[in-house]
Structure 1
Amino acid sequence: MSAARSELILGGQKSGKSRRAEELARAWMTQSPAHSAWLLATGRAYDAEMQARITRHRHDRAERVPGMRTAEVPLDLAAALRLHSQPGCLVVIDCLTMWLTNWMMPMPDAPAPAQDWPAQRTAFLAALAQAPGPVVIVGNEIGLGVIPLGREVRAFVDALGALNQQVAAACSHATLMCAGLPLVLKAGQ
Structure 2
Amino acid sequence: MRTLVLGGARSGKSAWAESLFDGDVSGGSLSGRVPVDYVATARPWPGADGFDADFSARIAGHRERRPAHWRTVDDVDAVEALRRPSAPFVLVDDIGTWLTNVFDRAHLWDSPRGSAAPWTDELVAAVRDWGGPGTGDCELHSPTAAGPAADGGEAGVVKQEPHLVIVTPEVGMGVIPEHRSGRLFRDEIGALNGRLADVCDRVVLVVAGLPLTLK
Normalising to structure 2: TM-score of the pair?
0.71
Change in Cα spacing, 1:177 to 1:42, as seen in structure 2 (3 Å) is same
Do residues 119 (structure 1) and 148 (structure 2) align?
Answer: no
Deviation at 1:19, TM superposition (A): 0.9
SS at match of 2:21: helix
Q: From the CA coordinates, give the structure whose radius of gyration is larger.
A: 2
d(CA) in 2 for partners of 1:28, 1:123: 28
Q: Within 5 Å, which residues of 2 pair with 1:144-159?
A: 144-159=173-188
Alignment of 1:88-99 (within 5 A): 89-99=88-98
CA 1:10–1:175: 2 relative to 1, 3 Å: same
Structure 1: unaligned runs, 5 residues or longer: 109-115
Aligned to 1:56: 61
Task: Find the residue that maps to 2:20 and give its secondary structure.
Answer: helix
* Amino acid corresponding to residue 161 of structure 1 in structure 2: G
* Matching residue of 1:111: none
Amino acid at match of 1:7: T
Superposed displacement of residue 176, structure 1: 0.5
Extract structure 1 runs of 4+ deviating beyond 4 A: 32-35
Query: 1:42 touches 1:96 (CA, 8 Å); kept in 2?
Result: yes
State how far apart, in whole Å, the 2-side matches of 1:105 and 1:163 are. 17
The percent identity for this pair of structures is 39
Compare the two structures and name the one with the higher helix fraction. Answer: 1
The root-mean-square deviation of aligned C-alpha atoms, in Å, is: 2.4
Check 1:32–1:127 CA distance in 2 against 1; reply closer, same or farther (3 A cut). Answer: farther
Asked whether the 8 Å contact 1:10–1:140 carries over to 2, the reply is yes
Deviation at 1:144, TM superposition (A): 0.3
Contact preservation (8 Å) 1:85, 1:132: no
SS in 1 for 2:214: strand
What is the alpha-carbon distance in structure 2 between the residues aligned to residue 39 and residue 165 of structure 1? Answer: 23
Aligned 8 A contact 2:13 2:167 in 1? yes
Counterparts of 1:141 and 1:36 in 2: how far apart (Å)?
A: 28
Give, as a single letter, the amino acid of the residue that structure 1 aligns with 2:170: E
CA contact (8 A) 2:38 2:73 kept: yes
Q: CA deviation at 1:106?
A: 5.0
- Within the candidate set 5, 15, 19, 1:9 is matched to 5
**2:85 alignment partner in structure 1:** 84
Matches within 5 A, 1:36-47: 36-46=35-45, 47=52
